[in-house]
Structure 1
Amino acid sequence: MREKLGFFIWVLFLWGFCLGKFVVEKNSLRVTSPESVKGVYECAIGNFGVPQYGGTMVGTVVYPKMNQKACKSFDDVDVSFKSKPGGLPIFLLADRGDCYFTLKAWNAQKAGAAAILVTDNRIEPLITMDTPEEENSRADYLQNITIPSALISKTLGDSIKKALSSGEMVNINLDWRETLPHPDDRVEYEFWTNSNDECGNKCDSQIEFVKNFKGAAQILEKGGYTQFTPHYITWYCPEAFALSKQCKSQCINHGRYCAPDPEQDFSRGYDGKDVVVQNLRQACLFRVANESGKPWLWWDYVSDFSIRCPMKEKKYTKECADEVIKSLGLDLNKINKCIGNPEADEENPVLKAEQDAQIGTGSRGDVTILPTLVINNRQYRGKLDKGAVLKAICAGFQETTEPAVCLTEGIETNQCLENNGGCWQDNDANVTACKDTFRGRVCECPVVRGVKFVGDGYTHCEASGALRCEINNGGCWEEKRDGKTYSACIEDDSKGGCKCPPGFKGDGVKTCEDVDECKEKLACQCPECKCKNTWGSYECSCSGNALYMREHDTCINKEGTTSSSWNVFWVIFLGLAVSGVTGYAVYKYRIRSYMDSEIRAIMAQYMPLDNQGEAPNHVAHADI
């Protein structure tokens, strides 16, 4: 019941706009052959693909024998519309009906067609072919359609089919040169947008367009070539429902300004009123920036806010928005004053002006499509693509009066020269996350001398990798005192990290304080020890003549140590002396005994020894 009531309320919100004026943007179509169809006709520009604003395209028409509504892929019937070398591009003619216009264009593009012409199936005024809504708007192919498309009348379609069936070649010139007026030397354009980032592919493509186009937009604005104004669509809640739960959650200022629930669910997530307030903040930011002579800062804020404060990460808050505003150097007080009180039962002048601007004036119809561009009071049709939109804006200048940005994309914005583009920087290390590109400045953590910085690029970047301590000490604490240098950077940590070295305590990033090892009883705990704290370390000493042994945290008496050492020396010396004398005596004794035995043996051979008797006398005789 709650969802049904919410839907009914939104039907009432849209009631007034359904009765408003919607202008179909057209371009001319010239048939150059055959003679039976030759002439100039009107066709309605599709609100997808890439129209060639300011240019022309010539091709030959093909009407397929099968799959004439182009609702199926032409790969299934093995048909190709790629032009042959030297031949004209092929424009596919398809019948209206049975499927979305975008699907017809996508199938034609995949088959190689250069453009698609959809012929109406009834006689009626031309309508604008738009992208599908709700769940079908999430189809992946929608943002990939690049060929131009146009709706032609049933009468013209029948004439082309008749000529083709007779074997005649139908050649057509699509002309977008006069699609946009160029009354003076400045192009005025409006971008109707929304801060909601939970609406699928449309929201994703919108913020991608802002990021890509902002560089060109800022150069055009700074050079005075364009006058840009952002706008936001709001609806009102009928007085009878102003106090209902749905209106209170979707509206501000007592139901005067409302936006749909981002998740289409009133019971969770952010509410429509959150979107309205953020839209109001963006509109006020533009007013303040414009008053300060820097309207182009709106592009920076919107792109930065989408990166830093997305709904999907629950950061879609005033606090996050304020941080982005401060980084751009804008006056936050003026912006808050412009926003006013969203709870007050009164009109908000900014949002009232936005509602008035939605109503079509002159050749422009009511704005009911988001996102969209209005260039020189003509509604842009086609994909929100940087190249396509830039071409459309440049088509608003008189020929040969276009600024240089219309002729080349090789540009730099030089935004980093002022306030560092609102990005992170380290003045000590001369490192910045600001990078100028033709898309405008980008806040990306840099790579310096092979060291990669990581972070969001806006508020912080930290060096990472093995060499990170060589750049600004890896963003860690470092201090030099009395010839000593201590650092908290961990050199062998490839992921990065800061840790106070031994002897210090703190976060390692901003501070590391000396630890008083003496006071905290971390050293010199022996009874005889005396402790003295030093920066990053400590010194221990012992009373009297004792010697401090740091590895054992103890004191040893110097005299006792000396006496003991000499005693050991003399014991060893005397021991060696005794051993030497004993050895020498043994040696001499053994030598003398050996010599005595040898002398006795020699003397025994030449003379009797004293203890031997005389030998008997022997005589020789012969027997007779």
Structure 2
Amino acid sequence: MGRSKRSKSGFFLGFLLLIFTESVVGPFVVEKNSLRVTSPEDLKGTYDSAIGNFGIPQYGGSMSGTAVYSKDNKDGCKSFGESGVSFKPKPGALPTFVLVDRGAAVLVADDVDEPLITMDTPEEDGASGKYIENITIPSALISKNFGERLKKAISGGDMVNLNLDWREAVPHPDDRVEYELWTNSNDECGVKCDMLMEFVKDFKGAAQILEKGGYTQFTPHYITWYCPQAFTISKQCKSQCINHGRYCAPDPEEDFSSGYDGKDVVLENLRQLCVFRVAKEAGKSWIWWDYVTDFQIRCPMKEKKYNKECADGVIKSLGLDLKKIEKCMGNPDDDSDNSVLKEEQDAQVGKGSRGDVTILPTVVVNNRQYRGKLEKGSVLKAICSGFEETTEPSVCLSADVETNECLENNGGCWQDKASNLSACKDTFRGRVCECPVVNGVRFKGDGYNSCTASGPGRCQISHGGCWHENRNGIAFSACVDYEEGKCTCPPGFRGDGVKSCEDIDECKEKKACQCPECSCKNTWGSYDCTCSGDLLYIWDHDTCISKKATEVKSSWVVVWVVLLGLAIACGGAYLVYRHRLRSYMDSEIRAIMAQYMPLDSQHEVPSHRHDDHA
């Protein structure tokens, strides 16, 4: 009876998937990496290869090796040790690329003349699922024609050298990566559910660092199907769908009579979408990772805690607004579209360089679907390869993802050990030699052999790469701050200004201190002149004079200055006296004359006549 129900359930879900696939016209995009043959000469060139859905592609990197092919083990079904071919390279040798016919991994030659396809894993049961999960070598599918040419070259004794390159497998246009995880809240779907839950738990820390730092823009997605109109009132649709058959998920136990239903999964998927939206609205989108991992731990299906009550408890513990989340979820019994889930169904359709999303889980990085094992290190590599070179955050350069190529021999780049400056920058794709910028001062050069500080303030940074030396507290530098990139030995020195500046002996070469009584002594960067006896050296005239004569001369100068000052003061006082005396005399004369005749400046005084009346 149980088998019959499981069979019916599987048939019905298959029918739903068929309906969904036929109703949506979208592309399936094959993600590719580059394969370059460096020898032999007649095979030299670049070829396309398709990345498989298993193994660990080296996103952002490349790998060189030598191709081998075993005629006795063409399909790779036997141990390669038996056929004389080994994956392990010998010390000092290049890595081995094992070429097999389609049906195995590594470098796989197609057995059908067709466009490249994406290699996938077979239907997984418990045993095969664990085996496939442990595949860690990268794999690539090549065309039948190219495979035949490789086999012919190897069989003919040629050494075939290849380079697999994943550096352009993910677009990397700028300093922010946009990525998606197509996931599911169901925790009872076998190996894939276990793998997904383990990945979310392991990746949470790195994801939150990237999101909090503004380095990434993450979006979770959930796949749903719709029930055909003719079956919306059926028991199967009612148990697997919400909103009258519009949004459905498979029954977790594939048994409609017991356990949880598909609609329970749809509701929790919707709740997790709304948790993300409400958290993002609050400026804390990374809380989604906390909710999902906490829900997995606290509300598992096997303990019968996969329900709203348990979910609400997780939401409250994270400080999210429960009412906003419930409003976002809407009413699952409405006979109308749910705006959140409708957007999810629209997003499943491939656009541009991204194909349709039809399987779970799926990671999409910069609109390019990730291929390979769902594992923290490999997914983080894919995300880190989406940053423009030199803009990767530090998490991308951690020991789990990348080794620091600048630690050994400074990566072959320029460095100034004295000031601990280096042109080597470790990036996810490898080191680059790029002259640094220090305290706003930019260094210019090729980054390999030279880097020279330029612009204002350059002399403050390692003297602009120019010669400098300090002796007994006296320092000289050949750096000229206002001359771009120029190193000029200071006065008193000669040389190239970069590696050396030598002191000039002015006493011999410039014949300084030439007066008869003078004696010259060379110093570092200058010279000293002294006079014999009680004489004083005058630099401006290159001569010696008596100190006494100088003192007498100085005394007479003081006397003359004092006398001149007194003369000026007396002359000034006399002029003031004369001016005041003359002003006084003028006023006296005018007063006397005014008694005898009217002056022009005075008005005639009118006379007043008085008549006496009797």
Question: Which of 137, 156, 163 does residue 146 from structure 2 map onto?
Answer: 156
How far residue 317 of structure 1 moved from its aligned partner, in angstroms, is: 1.2
Q: Which of residues 145, 149, 152 is equivalent to 2:135? A: 145
Q: Is the 8 A contact 1:207 1:306 kept in 2?
A: yes
State the shift of 1:389 in Å. 1.0
Kept in 1: contact 2:208–2:286 (CA 8 A): yes
Deviations 1:302-346 (A, max 9, x none): 111111111122211111111111111111111111111112211
Question: Are residues 76 and 259 of structure 1, via their aligned partners in 2, closer, same or farther at CA, if it must alter by over 3 Å?
Answer: farther
- Extract unaligned runs of 5+ from structure 2: 402-614
Q: What is the match of residue 344 of structure 1?
A: 334
Residues 95 and 138 (structure 1 numbering): CA distance in 2 closer, same or farther, change over 3 Å? closer
Name the SS of the counterpart of 2:296 in structure 1.
Answer: helix
Give 1:87 deviation, angstroms: 0.2
8 Å contact kept, 2:179–2:367:
yes
Pick closer, same or farther for the CA change 1:203–1:7 going to 2, 3 Å. Answer: closer
Q: 1: CA distance between counterparts of 2:260 and 2:192?
A: 18
Partner Cα distance (1:30, 1:366) in 2: 29
- Note the C-alpha offset of 1:48: 1.2
Alignment of 1:335 with 2:341, yes or no, is no
**CA–CA distance in 1 between the matches of 2:82 and 2:234?**
53
Alpha carbons 1:9, 1:237 under 8 Å: kept: no
1:170 is the counterpart of 2:160: yes
1:28 aligns with 2:34: yes
1:288 and 1:309 mapped to 2: Cα distance?
21
> Of the candidates 383, 393, 398, which is equivalent to residue 383 of structure 2?
393
Q: Distance in 2 between matches of 1:256 and 1:138?
A: 35
Once residues 11 and 133 of structure 2 are traced to their aligned partners in structure 1, the CA distance between those partners, rounded to angstroms, is 31
Aligned residue among 85, 110, 116 for 2:91: 85
1:11 aligns with 2:14: yes
Report the 3-state secondary structure (helix = DSSP H, G, I; strand = E; otherwise coil) of the residue aligned with 1:168.
coil
Deviations 1:401-444 (A, max 9, x none): 11111111589xxxxxxxxxxxxxxxxxxxxxxxxxxxxxxxxx
1:528-570: CA deviations, max 9, x gaps? xxxxxxxxxxxxxxxxxxxxxxxxxxxxxxxxxxxxxxxxxxx
Offset of residue 3 of structure 1 = 4.8
In 2, distance between residues paired with 1:278 and 1:167?
60
Alignment of 1:217-228 (within 5 A): 217-228=207-218
Q: 2:258 is matched with which residue?
A: 268
After superposition, the Cα gap between the structure-2 partners of 1:400 and 1:78, relative to the gap in structure 1 and judged at 3 Å, is same
Q: Aligned-pair distance for 1:124?
A: 0.4
Give yes or no for contact 1:187–1:376 (8 Å, CA) kept in 2: yes
TM-score, reference length from structure 1: 0.61
Shift of 1:70: 1.1
Question: What percentage of residue pairs aligned between the two structures are identical?
Answer: 72
Q: Which segment is superposed worse, 236-245 or 77-86?
A: 77-86
Q: Secondary structure at the match of 1:248?
A: helix
Q: How far 1:76 moved relative to its partner?
A: 5.8
Q: Distance in 2 between the 1:306 and 1:409 partners?
A: 28
User: What is the DSSP-based 3-state SS (H/G/I as helix, E as strand, rest coil) of the residue aligned with 1:66?
Assistant: helix
How far off its partner does 1:64 sit?
1.5
> Is the CA contact 2:126–2:190 (under 8 Å) kept in the aligned structure 1?
no
Please give the alpha-carbon distance, in whole angstroms, between the structure 2 residues aligned to 1:337 and 1:149: 46
Partner of 2:305: 315
Task: Work out the CA distance in 1 between the residues paired with 2:77 and 2:226.
Answer: 39
2-structure distance, mates of 1:93, 1:368? 30
In the alignment, the residues of structure 2 paired with residue 54 and residue 46 of structure 1 have an alpha-carbon distance, to the nearest angstrom, of 16
Let me know the Cα RMSD of the aligned residues.
Answer: 1.8
Contact kept, 8 Å, 2:10 with 2:254, in 1: the verdict is: no
Q: Is the 8 A contact 1:193 1:231 kept in 2?
A: yes
Question: Structure 1 stretches (4+) deviating beyond 3 angstroms?
Answer: 1-9, 72-79
Extract unaligned runs of 5+ from structure 1. 98-103, 106-115, 412-624
Q: How big is each residue's C-alpha offset from its partner over 1:432-457, in whole Å with a ceiling of 9 and x where there is no partner?
A: xxxxxxxxxxxxxxxxxxxxxxxxxx
Give the 3-state SS of the residue equivalent to 1:139 in structure 2: helix
Question: In structure 2, how many angstroms separate the alpha carbons of the residues matched to 1:185 and 1:21?
Answer: 28
- Letter of the structure 1 residue corresponding to residue 144 of structure 2: K
From 207, 218, 238, the counterpart of 2:197: 207
Report the Cα offset of residue 182 of structure 1.
1.8
Residues 144 and 129 of structure 1: CA distance in aligned 2, closer, same or farther (over 3 Å): same
User: When the two structures are superposed, what TM-score results if normalisation uses the length of structure 2?
Assistant: 0.62
Take 2:247 and 2:285, find their aligned partners in 1: how far apart are those partners? 25
Is the CA contact 1:138–1:201 (under 8 Å) kept in the aligned structure 2?
Answer: no
Matching residue within 354, 361, 364 for 2:351: 361
Out of 70, 89, 92, the residue aligned to residue 64 of structure 1 is 70
The aligned runs of 1:325-474 (5 Å cut-off) are 325-408=315-398
Partner of 1:121: 111
Q: 1:335 to 1:407 in 2, by over 3 A?
A: same
For 1:253 and 1:9, the matched residues in 2 are separated by 19
C-alpha separation between the residues in 2 aligned to 1:136 and 1:368?
Answer: 22
Going from structure 1 to structure 2, the CA distance change for 1:266 and 1:48 (only over 3 Å counts) comes to same
Distance 1:174 1:313, change over 3 A: same
Aligned length: 395
**Residue 483 of structure 2: aligned partner:** none
The AA in structure 1 aligned to 2:50 is A
Aligned-pair CA distance for 1:79? 4.9
Which residue does 2:101 correspond to in 1?
A: 95
Moved more, 350-359 or 18-27: 18-27
Cα deviation, residue 266, structure 1 = 1.9
Q: For residue 320 of structure 1, what is the amino acid of its counterpart?
A: C
Q: Distance in 2 between matches of 1:9 and 1:94?
A: 38
